[in-house]
Each structure stands twice: as structure tokens, then as C-alpha cells.
Amino acid sequence: MVKYCQDKNLFSKVKYIVEGGSERQYSIYNAIKKIEDTDIVIIQDAARPFLKDKYIEESLKILNDDCDGAIIGVKCKDTIKIIDENGIVLETPNRDNLIMVHTPQTFKFEILKKAHQMAEEKNILATDDASLVEMISGKVKFINGDYDNIKITVQEDLKFLK
């Protein structure tokens, strides 16, 4: 497939095409296992087509000795409730401390790889890569994004493409 893409000039920079996994996390880890000679990895959901370049630039700027990753997101406008399996409300977290996380998510490569290895060894499935980095005590910093960076996942989301 890579050779086909290169021969047709579809993707001149493609080095590998990796098989997706049954979950997003497994797809990312399949890609991580193929990466060579890099210090930084940026993960972007294809379902978020409204990404602005400035968020990539900002996330790259904040990676340093005391910051292992950067996540883009927005403050929660709505009240969030934690419920049990029967739908009974258990808790209402303070909205001021909550964010809705988007992509891109940017990480130092070695810590991201270590986080995914840990998840595989302990059979942990997380909803994003930052969660895995946090589990190994990595420091991830929040960058305020915008509400236009939506994820197209359901029919109603398609209205934003117009």
C-alpha cells in the first residue's frame, strides 16, 4: 500500500501504513511501534477536520523538561454529573476544573511509547493518549482551544461541514 501511494504521488511523505486496531488506542500503538528517530509525536483525530495550525504550534512550544505532553480542549459550558449504572446521580464536579479534550494531542515520543507499553502490559484501555501518559506520572498541560474543533461522529454533526 505504501508503495502504491508513493508511486501515485498520493502521499510522498508516507513511510508506513499501519493496520488499525479494534480500538483507537490500539491503532495509535500500532503506529508508535513503527516510528523511528523522532522526539515528538502529534496525534490528530481524522474526525476533527476544523483544526487550526496555531494549536499545533502552541503545543510544540510548551513541550520542555517539565512538560511531557500538551492537549487542546475547551472549558465545559454544561454542568457535568457523575452517575452510577442505574442512572442515579452520585456527584456534580466543579465545572471550573473540567475541560472537554480535543486533538491534537502532542507528546514527547519516549514517554508516549512507555505509556502505551504500560497499557498493553496491564490491559488498560483509555479514551485518549493523555490518560495513559498521566498514568505513568507524565505531566500533560492544557491549551485552551475553541469550540469549532468539533468531532464529526453522529449525523447531527454534519451540519457543521456546510
For 56-96, what is each residue's pLDDT tens digit?
999 999 998 789 999 999 999 999 999 999 999 999 999 99
* Rg for the chain, CA atoms, rounded: 18
Residues in the chain: 162
pLDDT of residue 66: 86
Enter the C-alpha cell of residue 158.
Answer: 454534519
End-to-end CA distance of the chain: 32
| CA proximity to 72, closest of 43, 30, 36, 113 | 43
Instruction: For residue 108, list its beta bridge partners.
Output: 40
Would you say domain 39-161 falls under CATH 3.40.50.300? no
pLDDT of residue 8: 65
pLDDT of residue 13: 67
Q: What is the DSSP letter of 66?
A: T
The residue ranges of the chain whose pLDDT is under 50 are none
Per the listing, cell 501511494 goes with: 5
Domain locations in the chain as residue ranges: 39-161
| CA proximity to 106, closest of 79, 145, 146 | 145
3-state secondary structure of 28: helix
